[in-house]
C-alpha cells in the first residue's frame, strides 16, 4: 500500500473529509503511580478534527469525569482558532502534524486520541507512544496486522497504555449481552448473525473511498462492528471464515469494497453470518441459543441502543458512549481497572479482516484462524 504524505492527506481532506475517526520511564506515563495517581482528570489531545472529533468526541469529553479536552492536533490551520475559542484550549496545547512530536514536553497532555484516516493510525499512534503519551487509536486499529504489531510494540517499549476506540464495550446494552453469554443465561449459542451497514453517498472524493487512505470501505469501517458483535455475542473467537463480496454501484465504489458477507465457525460448534455494507442501512445483532435468544437492534449506532431477549426487553439509561469509553480508559490508567478494548483486540480484528479479504481473493475459500483467546475481554 502506498504511503500518504501529510501534505497529500490535507489536500484530500479539503476535498471531502465530510465522510468522517518519548520516554516510557517518565512518571506521568506510568499506569497507576506517581503524578497520574494524584491527577483528578487526565488531559486528552485529539489528533484529527473531522466529524467524529467534532460531533462525538469533543462533546463527550466535556461530560467526562476523569478526562478532559486539553489539546488538539490538526492539519487545517483554520480550525485552530475555532476549537481554541470553543474549548478554551491554550496556545501551548495546539499542534499540527509536523510539530506533533513536541507534545512530548507537554505535561498537561496525558492521552493522545488518534482520529485520522486509517492509513495514518500507525504513524501517529507510534509517535504518541514515543512521546510518552497513552494512546487511544480509533478503529480500525490500522490497515494491516503488521501495523497493529508495530503500535503494540511501541506502546510496550514506552510503558504507556493502549486502547482501540471500541466505544461499545463501555456501553450497557453490550455489557449486558456479554454477561448473558458468560453466564449462559439462555444456554449455549447455536447461531449468531451481525449486520452493520449504512448507505454511503455524497462526495466521491471523501477519504473513505480512497483505498490508500482507508484500506477499504465497508469492511474496514462498519465491518469491524459486525465482527465485534459476532465475537462478544458468542464469547469466543471464530476458528474459520469464508467470505464473499458484492457491488451494485461500481461507478461509486471504484477503489473499495461496497458489500461483504462472511460466515464464521466457532470451536463450540456455533456458526454465524455477518454482513457489512455502505449501500444499505442495517444495524443488528441476533443470537439463537438452545434455551432462548437475544437481540440488539440497533447494535452499534451512537445510541440509544435497544435490546430484547426471549425473556423480555432490555432497558438501560443512555449516556454518550464515547464519554463512557474515555472514562473507562482513564480508570485503567489511574486506577488499574481492566482495559476494555486493548490493542490485542484491534490486532485480532485485523487478522480476521485480512482473512476475509483473503477468502474473497481466493474465490470464497475457507480461511482457518488460530486466534485462541486473543483480544477476548
| Pairwise CA distance, residues 300 & 297, whole Å | 8
Q: Is the pLDDT of residue 375 over 70?
A: yes
Write out pLDDT tens, residues 228-275: 999 999 999 999 999 999 999 999 998 899 999 999 999 999 999 999
Predicted local distance difference test score (pLDDT) of residue 211? 87
Predicted local distance difference test score (pLDDT) of residue 310? 98
Q: Where are the beta strands (DSSP E) in 40-130?
A: 42-47, 67-73, 94-95, 111-114
Predicted local distance difference test score (pLDDT) of residue 12? 46
| Pairwise CA distance, residues 186 & 321, whole Å | 27
pTM (whole model) above 0.75: yes
Please state the rounded mean pLDDT for residues 3-26: 42
Q: What is the mean pLDDT of the chain?
A: 91
Report, as residue numbers or ranges, the catalytic residues.
139, 225
Please give the share of the chain, as a percent, with pLDDT higher than 70.
Answer: 90
Predicted local distance difference test score (pLDDT) of residue 30? 39
Identify the CATH assignment for 168-324+343-368 out of 1.10.10.10, 3.30.360.10, 3.20.20.70, 3.90.79.10: 3.30.360.10
15-29, 112-126, 264-278: least confident range: 15-29
Q: Which grid coordinates belong to 205?
A: 472524493
Write out pLDDT tens, residues 354-368: 999 999 999 999 999
Predicted local distance difference test score (pLDDT) of residue 51? 96
Q: 262: Cβ–Cβ under 8 A, 6 or more apart, which residues?
A: 241, 242, 243, 244, 273, 274, 275, 356, 359
207, 256 in Cβ contact below 8 A? no
24-33, 146-155, 212-221: least confident range: 24-33
Domain boundaries defined on the chain: 6-167, 168-324+343-368
Please state the rounded mean pLDDT for residues 299-304: 97
Task: Pick the more confident residue, 114 or 8.
Answer: 114
Per DSSP, 328 falls in state H
Q: Is the pLDDT of residue 21 over 60?
A: no
Q: Is the pLDDT of residue 160 over 90?
A: yes
Q: Is the pLDDT of residue 31 over 60?
A: no
Q: Is the pLDDT of residue 376 over 70?
A: yes
CATH 3.40.50.360 fits 6-167, yes or no: no
Predicted local distance difference test score (pLDDT) of residue 38? 55
9-23, 45-59, 265-279, 308-322: least confident range: 9-23
Please state the rounded mean pLDDT for residues 98-103: 98
Predicted local distance difference test score (pLDDT) of residue 18? 38
| Pairwise CA distance, residues 97 & 196, whole Å | 32
Stated length of the chain: 377
CA distances from 63 to 71, 162, 202, 322, 377 (A): 16, 22, 32, 10, 26
| Pairwise CA distance, residues 212 & 220, whole Å | 12
Predicted local distance difference test score (pLDDT) of residue 33? 40
Predicted local distance difference test score (pLDDT) of residue 151? 98
Write out pLDDT tens, residues 43-69: 999 999 999 999 999 999 999 999 999
Q: Is the pLDDT of residue 27 over 70?
A: no
Please state the rounded mean pLDDT for residues 65-88: 98
Question: Which residue is associated with the grid cell 510494540?
Answer: 153
1-5, 228-232, 284-288: least confident range: 1-5
Predicted local distance difference test score (pLDDT) of residue 37? 47
Amino acid at each position: 500500500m502506498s504511503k500518504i504524505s501529510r501534505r497529500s492527506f490535507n489536500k484530500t481532506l479539503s476535498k471531502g473529509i465530510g465522510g468522517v475517526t518519548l520516554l516510557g520511564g517518565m512518571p506521568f506515563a506510568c499506569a497507576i503511580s506517581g503524578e497520574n495517581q494524584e491527577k483528578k482528570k487526565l488531559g486528552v489531545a485529539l489528533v484529527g478534527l473531522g466529524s467524529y472529533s467534532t460531533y462525538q468526541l469533543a462533546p463527550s469529553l466535556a461530560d467526562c469525569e476523569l478526562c478532559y479536552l486539553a489539546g488538539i492536533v490538526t492539519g487545517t490551520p483554520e480550525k485552530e482558532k475555532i476549537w481554541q475559542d470553543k474549548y478554551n484550549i491554550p496556545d501551548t496545547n495546539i499542534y499540527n502534524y509536523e510539530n506533533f512530536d513536541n507534545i512530548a514536553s507537554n505535561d498537561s497532555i496525558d492521552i493522545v486520541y488518534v482520529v485520522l484516516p486509517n492509513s495514518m493510525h500507525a504513524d501517529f499512534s507510534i509517535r504518541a507512544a514515543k512521546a510518552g503519551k497513552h494512546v487511544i487509536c480509533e478503529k480500525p486499529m490500522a490497515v494491516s496486522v503488521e501495523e497493529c504489531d508495530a503500535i503494540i510494540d511501541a506502546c510496550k517499549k514506552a510503558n504507556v497504555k493502549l486502547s482501540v476506540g471500541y466505544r461499545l464495550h463501555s456501553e450497557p446494552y453490550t455489557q449486558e449481552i456479554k454477561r448473558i453469554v458468560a453466564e449462559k443465561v439462555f444456554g449455549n449459542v447455536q447461531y449468531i448473525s451481525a449486520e452493520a451497514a449504512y448507505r454511503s453517498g455524497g462526495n466521491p472524493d471523501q477519504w473513505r473511498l480512497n483505498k490508500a487512505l482507508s484500506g477499504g470501505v465497508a469492511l474496514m469501517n462498519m465491518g469491524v462492528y459486525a465482527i465485534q458483535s459476532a465475537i462478544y455475542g458468542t464469547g469466543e473467537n471464530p476458528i474459520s471464515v469464508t467470505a464473499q463480496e458484492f457491488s451494485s454501484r461500481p461507478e461509486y465504489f471504484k477503489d473499495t469494497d461496497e458489500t461483504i458477507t462472511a460466515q464464521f465457525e466457532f470451536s463450540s460448534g456455533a456458526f454465524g453470518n455477518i454482513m457489512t455494507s455502505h449501500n444499505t442501512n442495517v444495524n443488528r445483532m441476533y443470537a439463537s441459543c438452545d434455551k432462548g435468544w437475544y437481540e440488539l437492534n440497533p447494535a452499534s449506532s451512537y445510541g440509544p441502543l435497544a435490546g430484547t431477549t426471549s425473556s423480555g426487553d432490555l432497558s438501560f439509561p443512555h449516556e454518550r458512549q464515547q464519554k463512557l469509553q474515555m472514562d473507562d480508559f482513564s480508570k485503567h490508567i489511574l486506577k488499574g481497572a481492566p482495559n476494555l478494548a486493548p490493542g490485542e483486540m484491534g490486532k485480532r480484528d485485523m487478522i480476521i479482516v485480512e482473512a476475509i479479504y483473503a477468502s474473497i481473493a481466493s474465490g470464497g475459500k475457507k480461511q482457518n484462524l488460530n486466534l485462541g483467546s486473543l483480544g477476548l475481554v
